Structure 1
Amino acid sequence: MKWFDNIALTLVIIGAINWLLIGIFRFDLVAFLFGNLTWISRIIYTLVGLCGLYLISLFGRIGTFSDSRS
């Protein structure tokens, strides 16, 4: 599952950079590249959101990892 964690983290980082661009420059990179709410941009937004939800489980796994090293 480590490969899935890495993909999810990469997508969430890309989403965070997109939100940074929106917040500072009002520039939506996904909409610029794929169109404003086209089916492909909606898929990208959905995948980023789902990966963000999946990474909530990372908090529990970090705690478990820290406990096992003590």
Structure 2
Amino acid sequence: MSGLQRTCLAFLVIGGINWGLIGFFRFDLIAAIFGGSYTALARIIYGIVGLCALYSLTLLFKPSEELERRREPEIR
């Protein structure tokens, strides 16, 4: 897993936790930390989470390296 993929995964976990808090408790953690959901910094965080989600869509269609290794016949 590349550094970009790990970074995107971290942002997606943050976004997922935030959405869980919104869904269960009506509490927006990002807005609480950065002073409201319409502040510039909060909107940047929301935008980064969205871009990471779009990038992570490409991982769904990327073949797994493990599966590729299993499909190749071993030459001895």
Aligned to 2:7: 7
Question: Counterparts of 1:1-70 in structure 2 under 5 Å?
Answer: 2-36=2-36, 37-61=38-62, 63-70=63-70
Q: TM-score, normalised by structure 1?
A: 0.90
Counterparts of 1:67 and 1:25 in 2: how far apart (Å)? 41
RMSD: 1.4
Between structure 1 and structure 2, the one with the greater Rg is: 2
Relative contact order: is structure 1 or structure 2 higher (C-alpha 8 Å, sep ≥ 6)?
1
Counterparts of 2:69 and 2:9 in 1: how far apart (Å)? 23
Would you say how many aligned residue pairs link Structure 1 and Structure 2? 69
Shift of 1:30: 0.3
Q: Which runs of 5+ in 2 are unaligned?
A: 71-76
**Structure in which a larger fraction of residues adopt helix:** 1
Q: TM-score, normalised by structure 2?
A: 0.83
Residue-by-residue CA offset, 1:14-68 (whole Å, 9 max, x unaligned): 000000000000000000000211000000000000000000011122x242431
Identity of aligned residues (%): 45
Residue 65 of structure 2 aligns to which amino acid in structure 1?
A: F
